[in-house]
């Protein structure tokens, strides 16, 4: 969902998403809010009048636009609909150095500098950033690897190992333990993520980048 905000006497919010399901969910979620408008649209094709919104927010949206021309078109369109001196906030995987550009068919990792250069070329000034080191996610991946390693190399009978490898996804016991460990790790690591957010480093893969559109 990409959110576009206008401020008059009361805030007005327009949200768009390419998916009908997401829009239906958001409509139910925000049913009580009369100043929220939700529409099915692609960010690269949204046809709001130019210079309409004070703030445009895109959380984990642009990274899903895998085609480079569409990505550039999306940024051009975001800048077009934002008012002069208005702000744009994007959160995406945007590491300093990209190791694997397309880890899945649905995601492209572009570097922090690519985002900054593209918005800069579109007439925006980069003003601030926050990092999400996602320490909990990294820790949990480490724990899962160790768990998988232990299961693979001997701490179970051969028969149990074969069953658990073929049925792993269906095992209610292992998935419950996995969920519990994941939730625990994420919960305890979250304060560390908040603490480190103002200090993004080259190890931070996901970040929030904030731009200001030049005066018009």
Angle CA 114–120–123, to nearest 5: 145
- Residue whose CB is less far from ligand SAM, 1 or 116: 1
Judged by CB, which is closer to ligand SAM: 19, or 171? 19
Q: Which ranges constitute the DSSP H helices of 62-199?
A: 68-81, 112-121, 135-152, 158-167, 172-196
Q: Is 5 in the site for ligand SAM (CB under 6 A)?
A: no
Q: Which is nearer to ligand SAM, 19 or 167 (CB)?
A: 19
| Interface with ligand SAM (CB under 6 A), residue from 22, 52, 54, 156 | 22
Cα–Cα distance measured from residue 69 to residue 178, given in angstroms and rounded to the nearest whole number = 40
Closest approach, Cβ 60 to ligand SAM, in A, equals 4
Q: Based on CB atoms, which residue is closest to ligand SAM, 143 or 197?
A: 197
Q: Judged by CB, which is closer to ligand SAM: 137, or 143?
A: 137
Q: Decide: residue 191, CB within 10 A, 0-12 exposed, 13-18 middle, 19+ buried.
A: exposed
161 binds ligand SAM (CB under 6 A): no
Q: Decide: is 18 part of the binding site for ligand SAM (CB under 6 A).
A: yes
Site for ligand SAM in 31-70 (CB under 6 A): 42-44, 59-61, 64-65
Q: How many of the other CB atoms lie within 10 Å of CB of 53?
A: 24
Query: Do 13 and 36 form a contact (C-beta atoms < 8 A)?
Result: yes
Sign of torsion over alpha carbons 82, 85, 86, 90: positive
Site of tokens 């200090």: 199
The residues binding ligand SAM (CB under 6 A) are 1-2, 16-19, 22, 42-44, 59-61, 64-65
């Amino acid at each position: 969902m990409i959110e576009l905000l206008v401020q008059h006497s009361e805030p007005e919010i327009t949200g768009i998403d390419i998916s009908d399901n997401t829009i239906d969910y958001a409509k139910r979620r925000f049913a009580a809010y009369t100043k929220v408008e939700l529409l099915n649209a692609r960010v690269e094709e949204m046809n709001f009048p130019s210079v309409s919104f004070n703030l445009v927010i895109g959380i984990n949206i642009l990274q899903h636009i895998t085609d480079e021309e569409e990505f550039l078109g999306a940024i051009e369109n975001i800048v077009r609909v934002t008012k002069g001196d208005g702000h744009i906030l994007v959160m995406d995987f945007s590491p300093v150095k990209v190791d694997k550009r397309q880890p899945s068919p649905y995601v492209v990792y572009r570097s922090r500098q690519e985002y900054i250069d593209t918005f800069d070329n579109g007439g925006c000034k980069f003003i601030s950033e926050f990092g999400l080191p996602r320490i909990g996610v990294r820790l949990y991946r480490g724990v899962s690897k160790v768990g998988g390693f232990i299961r693979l190399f001997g701490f179970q009978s051969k028969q149990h190992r074969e069953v658990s490898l073929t049925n792993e996804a269906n095992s209610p016991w292992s998935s419950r333990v996995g969920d519990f460990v994941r939730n625990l790790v994420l919960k305890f690591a979250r304060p560390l993520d908040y603490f480190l957010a103002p200090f993004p480093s080259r190890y931070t893969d996901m970040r929030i980048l904030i731009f200001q559109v030049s005066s018009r």
